[in-house]
Structure 1
């Protein structure tokens, strides 16, 4: 409590007179409100990049579609995909699959060689059963397939997706810490499970498991474990899993994007730049980007050599919320000793 300054005044007979003074309490609240507003304004000012209006509070993932000249973003509620074009202040929904109605759209990948979009669907929390992968033609948005991944009675939360050079897709399960493999025509080929994925014991290290995933042109997958902070190198043919020895923390890592064969962007709180010179046997965190941390970085993409970090949370009081694709500039970090 703030003490005497906010007590009611009393008359000669000891009875309360008038209302509470609005002195120190009001002043303190006003200062706190101004400080909070200034902090948010500062963080918003660090975003740069692309700001646009869209439906709903949460947009999980956004990727650059070079051929289409646009960003494609998944919407958490509505299970749809919207396009965002340069110079336009508002998103436009281009895909809403009626067979995924009532679910959430999460990770997406632009499979440019096959001119298609891969999109992960999951249940709305707190439900944790449904998991599916959809594939759609870029442009016409004709559905190629919608494949269920879940098994009855199993708790799953499908999260992110990557495609290899043959068109096989790999989807992470952040609850079960496994990877589903789906063929180019939508057949479920199998599941990659390995005890290495859950090598760190305890609920704290496994609350959020496998999350962001990318396919490296040298033929393997890189996958981040959000709670454990591990980066895994996975051979999709042999299903061999190795832990990449990383100097620096990757905890709270979310979506991944390769900037080059030797540089990886991990979106999160904060977002990080990770580099490897030995084929991802070892790596180092060499840069960090904070940006509008209150919006929560959730995915990354590369446009014309620049990194853009999609932020999960939209802001605003109206039906349309303001969403941010921040242009990330990474501050160099000293090499770990």
Structure 2
């Protein structure tokens, strides 16, 4: 069985080289192994009697379909189903024999998942949640599933950091990354401090609504229907990517909602958003110290560019640093 890798003896010129790593305490060895993918970690621990059972108590489990590539030219052994079978066998054994009381991190990256494989994913995640992981990383492309993957219930509340790709139903966290999550219309969290939202949408929702009074860091690729952002005085930095699909009024409203931010980077924002009457209603950006504009204020008229820049600067009384990149970009 793959989990029981036989120990191998190091040989160099007929003798064994000193094994200084094995003299390290388990805690440090566990930390080293946590940087490896789980299959590699299991194979690594099989090289020494001192290490042989360390995989059973690793604080991090990293499962990636890329580790289960074809190792045999035999027909039928290199397809996706065969690779999934190898991953399922390894993962089932690993989770069954793992004995750590809890996990620092559980990471799962599967590539394309067929509908009939969802039960395997449910089982792995449900078992991982029993270890109360502090960090959870899940990457599941939704294309083959026909719908976003939903995390099994009940879901853990012990998480401090969550990274999701192609997954819906998101709990309250301090650090949340959402990539390509469909049916995502917003979130409300009193504790969220860091938020990354990229290519997430809900066709039925008018706007993406984010209520995060404790938010300190925001990375946002604009929702096509606009964004309503509710934050408080803690917002230290924000990176916002504009969108041609969003109205200039929508861009102006979003920009106005960032009035508490200290450092702001805007990418591909339109000059007409700043010149829109909606931006006139925005509060003064008293906290803003650094502003980075990348490819912003695109307009056929240079006059509009300078008007927009001037109007924006009027609302930034305490600005200390301004960076303009591709300001003369012709559209």
On whether the aligned pair clears a TM of 0.5, the verdict is no
Determine which structure has more spread, i.e. the larger CA radius of gyration: 2
Larger strand share, 1 or 2: 1
Normalising by structure 2, we get a TM-score of 0.24
Task: Tell me: higher relative CO, structure 1 or 2? Use CA pairs within 8 A at least 6 residues apart.
Answer: 1
Normalising by structure 1, we get a TM-score of 0.24
Larger helix share, 1 or 2: 2
